[in-house]
């Protein structure tokens, strides 16, 4: 609403009561005059003077208000309206910025969730791969150690069997000599021991 429109509106609002009061005065002049009210007897010069000067004072007050006070009121109203509209625009802009910030925050949260899930999956996959590698290396080491242990056991068994053959031959020869009282044939005793060892289960 512009200043001229505000001024016209306020002028009409001030002029309307005066017109209505004038019409009401005219409507009640005759009954009041008939009832004996001297201030409404227009044939009296004092009454006419009062009405004339009252109308002039009313017109002067109306002109003063319409030329001085009403523009100030209109400017104040226009300034207040502009300030309110500016505040409303600022509030709308702030709301749009807040909505944008909320949307960006939600997008960032979704992206962070996706990235975190990808990182966790990668860590789990790396851990599984490392565990598989360690398990494979451990199995290879165990197989190598078992193979070495089997070789050592086999070598020790062969060594023990060699020692057993000598011990068995010497023992058998000594027993034969003590039982017979003569000298035993070493080759014959050795052959019997070899036969017995060969028949022995592995």
167 occurs within a structural domain:
yes
Q: What is the pLDDT of residues 32-89, one digit of tens each?
A: 444 455 656 667 677 777 888 889 999 998 888 888 878 888 888 899 999 999 999 9
The pLDDT confidence band at residue 186, using thresholds 50, 70 and 90, is low
Residue where a domain stops, chosen among 39, 72, 92: 92
**Which residues form the domain of 168?**
153-199
Backbone phi, psi, residue 149, to 5°: -65, -40
Q: What is the pLDDT of residues 10-47, one digit of tens each?
A: 445 544 455 455 544 444 444 444 445 565 666 767 77
97 occurs within a structural domain:
no
The pLDDT confidence band at residue 156, using thresholds 50, 70 and 90, is confident
Task: Check whether residue 13 and residue 82 sit in a common domain.
Answer: yes
Percent of the chain with pLDDT over 70: 65
Q: How many domains does the chain have?
A: 2
Which tokens is 43 given? 């044939």
130 occurs within a structural domain:
no
Do 40 and 47 contact (CB within 8 A), yes or no? yes
161 occurs within a structural domain:
yes
Q: What is the pLDDT of residues 116-149, one digit of tens each?
A: 999 999 999 999 999 999 999 999 989 888 988 8
Would you call 1 helix, strand, or coil by DSSP?
A: coil
105 occurs within a structural domain:
no
134 occurs within a structural domain:
no
Task: Check whether residue 10 and residue 85 sit in a common domain.
Answer: yes
Residue where a domain stops, chosen among 92, 109, 142: 92
């Amino acid at each position: 609403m512009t200043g001229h429109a505000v001024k016209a509106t306020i002028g009409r609002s001030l002029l309307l009561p005066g017109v209505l009061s004038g019409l009401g005065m005219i409507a009640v002049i005759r009954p009041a005059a008939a009832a004996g009210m001297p201030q409404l007897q227009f044939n009296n010069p004092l009454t006419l003077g009062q009405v004339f000067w009252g109308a002039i004072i009313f017109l002067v007050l109306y002109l003063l208000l319409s030329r001085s006070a009403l523009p100030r009121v209109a400017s104040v109203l226009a300034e207040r309206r502009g300030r309110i509209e500016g505040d409303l625009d600022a509030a709308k802009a702030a709301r749009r910025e807040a909505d944008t910030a909320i949307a960006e925050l939600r997008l960032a949260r979704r992206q962070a969730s996706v990235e975190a899930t990808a990182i966790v999956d990668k860590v789990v996959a790396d851990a599984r791969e490392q565990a598989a590698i360690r398990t494979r290396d451990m199995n290879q080491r165990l197989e190598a150690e078992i193979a070495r242990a089997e070789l050592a056991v086999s070598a020790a068994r062969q060594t023990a069997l060699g020692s057993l053959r000598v011990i068995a031959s010497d023992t058998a020869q000594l027993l034969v000599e003590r039982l017979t009282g003569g000298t035993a044939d070493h080759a014959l005793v050795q052959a019997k021991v070899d036969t017995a060892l060969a028949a022995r289960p592995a």
